[in-house]
Structure 1
Amino acid sequence: MVPNPQTPSLPRRMACWMYEGMLMFGVAFIADYLFSTLSQTRHALDNRHAQQAFLFVIFGIYFVWFWAKGQTLAMKTWNIRVVDVHGAPITQTRALLRYALSWLWFLPPLALSWLLNLPAREGAVLTLGWVPIWAILARFHPQKQFWHDAWAGTRLVTWVAPAKAKRQAGSKATAPDQP
């Protein structure tokens, strides 16, 4: 249980989100290499839909695994933890629900781009416009949580590992007073 949980600020959560994206680039690169090697894909557009499905599953495994443990690598860096509404660790089932709902960051603009048959460049602009809108909508939640978290029964909280908290407290206690 997380005692007295506080919601991280929106800029901090978005910085974590951006860092997570950079880490996911590495996961995608390795997964794509594995897929291309195993399927013996010679051209980037061959097996495109199967490759996208494979990446969806790999990303799901990554996020469900780490969220069920409380934090992804980026969340550890930014001292953010995912918990249920009571502050307890989430189950793998709840993490899977959160993963499915987290696609609301991307699915609405992607679906609209597909429906309107927009070129890739315009679809990217639409997606880049939707992401900040979805993030800002968190301001309308009573606890300032992202809506996909509210619907999944999860929340993001500020959390520092106990050993790290003791180190930080010890370094503050031994630091000399500054004029």
Structure 2
Amino acid sequence: MTEKTDSSIKYAGLFRRLLAIIYDLFLLLALLFVATAFAMIFNQGDAIEPGQPLYPYYLVYLLTVSFAFFGWFWTHGGQTLGMKTWKIRLQQTDGQNISWQLALIRFFTAILSWSLLGMGFIWSLFQPQKRAWHDIASKCVMLDLRVPE
């Protein structure tokens, strides 16, 4: 297998990344519905609402489920289902799959990127490798895998 030169690498742009995120959010939402149904067992079958003693644990549980969803895909091939659909892949800057530790850094930095009005994502528009804050923090790049015509 030949090694790609830096000039032959194509980095994924913001638009493709956002499309993959939208796709993945639908999948994550379905998973969180199932996780919530399971959590309701511990609250006599009722919804867990703000103000209830279980609520903080419930939020941590949902955050953990969300991290497990993204982390597993990122550490096992670098592609969520949305990323596969839009032909983009996550990898470390040295070409390796990311570790669980880097996935955790990426996950929480991505939340920060979103919470600051998407500034972490907008940042990628001004970077030569199109890296968002969470890419930089986790030492990753997002590749565009489409074959040039």
Give the TM-score range, shorter chain.
0.7 to 0.9
Within the alignment, does 1:34 sit opposite 2:38 as a pair? Answer: yes
Taking structure 1 as the reference length, what is the TM-score of the superposition?
A: 0.69
Q: Equivalent of 2:107, from 89, 99, 104?
A: 99
- Amino acid of the residue matched to residue 13 of structure 2? S
Instruction: Label 1:105 to 1:28 Cα distance change in 2 as closer, same or farther (>3 A).
Output: farther
Distance in 2, Cα, partners of 1:75 & 1:65: 13
Supply the AA of the counterpart residue of 2:89: R
Alpha-carbon distance in 2 for matches of 1:102, 1:142: 19
Q: Secondary structure at the match of 1:156?
A: strand
The separation in 2 between residues aligned to 1:105 and 1:20, in whole angstroms, is 17
Q: Deviation string for 1:26-52 (max 9, x for gaps)? A: 111111111112343524413322211
Instruction: Count residues with an aligned counterpart.
Output: 141
Structure 1 residues not aligned, in runs of 5+: 109-129, 166-171, 173-179
Percent identity, aligned pairs only?
27
Cα deviation, 1:130-151, whole Å, max 9, x if unaligned, reads 13x4322211223111121111
Describe how 1:8-47 pairs up with structure 2 within 5 A: 8-40=12-44, 42-45=46-49, 46=52, 47=54
The one-character-per-residue Cα deviations of 1:37-82 (angstroms, maximum 9, x if unpaired) are: 2343524413322211100111111111110011111111111111
For the 8 Å contact 2:105–2:138, the answer to whether it is kept is: yes
SS of equivalent residue, structure 1 residue 7? coil
Q: Which one has a bigger Cα radius of gyration?
A: 1
Report whether the alignment pairs 1:135 with 2:143. Answer: no
TM-score (norm 2): 0.81
Q: RMSD of aligned C-alpha atoms?
A: 2.4
What is the rounded CA distance, in whole Å, between the counterparts of 1:40 and 1:100 in structure 2? 32
Shift of 1:107: 3.9
CA contact (8 A) 1:82 1:154 kept: yes
Gaps of 5+ in 2: none
Match 2:145 to one of 140, 143, 159: 159
